[in-house]
Structure 1
Amino acid sequence: MATDDLMSRALSALDEVDGPMSVEVIHRLVDAGDATAPMTITEVADLLGMSPHTLRYYERVGLVTVDRDADGHRSYGTQAVRRLVFLTRMRLSGMAMRDLQHYVRLVDEGDDTVPERLDMLLEHRDTIRRQLKELTLSLAATEYKIATYGGHTGTRQTD
């Protein structure tokens, strides 16, 4: 299952939520039932739609800890996969690598760092909200131009 499939599942789950988005959507997205057995680097790369090179890089810069099997091959457990899902969502939303590294260091330091982690996430949420508003305005401008040229606005139908 690639990142597009994960995103489709998340967006589908959003449709099931009445009111504000719940963290339950994310919990369902990374349900441990989907990855109970350790996964190889190839399986995780396919799941997340990223290259094994990127996964090795994330490990090298300290974003994720990966166990090794008896043969010395990477073995991604549920916690590593969950962290990678989170990291890929944060990267997609524009969080800088240095901020992710700082956040992961704080997580690894324990519960005393929760207030600082919360501050980081609140600030990032504000950034995402601003980006969403900017994208909504850009979409409106695009829809206006499409209508100006006689096209149909709204959801595009594909065959």
Structure 2
Amino acid sequence: MVYSIGTFTKITGLSADTLRYYEKEGLIFPERDLNNRRVYSEKDIDWIEFILRLKETAMPISQIKAYARLRYEGDSTLEKRLDLLLDHQRFIYKEKEKLEQNILHLNNKINIYKEAIEERR
């Protein structure tokens, strides 16, 4: 099934401007119909969802672009794509560890305030 840009924006939740920007940046390469209008497919939906997931994990746009370029080059880049994702996974785990430490410190401070307030009552 193919989708016009208008339908695709409704499916993905992205604006047409964002989709055009992604295309300009080399993140997506939609097909074109006989009238040279962009048409999107199910695989484009999956790819956009993956891009958004990478953004949510704080992958820099430059790395997403590098991954996209490799993806569009085909299966000969599987190892490079895997390496890129493994590097990013390590980054995410480090960030998770920092967040967990910050949560612990925050919880300790909250407990100190709660105890101080209880002692005043």
C-alpha distance in 2, partners of 1:126/1:133?
11
TM-score (norm. length: structure 2): 0.77
Unaligned runs of 5+ in 2: 116-121
How many residue pairs get aligned? The number is 115
Q: 1 or 2, which has the higher strand percentage?
A: 2
Percentage identity across aligned positions? 31
Q: Where is the helix percentage greater, Structure 1 or Structure 2?
A: 2
TM-score scaled by length of structure 1: 0.61
Q: Distance in 2 between matches of 1:78 and 1:89?
A: 17
How far residue 117 of structure 1 moved from its aligned partner, in angstroms, is: 1.1
Q: Which has the higher contact order (CA 8 A, sep 6+)?
A: 2
Distance in 2 (CA, whole Å) between partners of 1:51 and 1:146 is 41
Label 1:38 to 1:139 Cα distance change in 2 as closer, same or farther (>3 A).
farther
Q: Which amino acid aligns with 2:86?
A: L
Deviations 1:86-136 (A, max 9, x none): 111111212122211111111122222111111111101000110111111
Deviates more, 1:137-146 or 1:70-79: 70-79
Q: How far apart are residue 46 of structure 1 and its match?
A: 4.5
RMSD of Structure 2 on Structure 1 (CA): 2.3
In 1, distance between residues paired with 2:84 and 2:56?
16
Match of 2:85 in 1: 121
Q: Which moved more, 1:141-150 or 1:100-109?
A: 141-150
| Alignment partner, residue 60 of structure 1 | 24
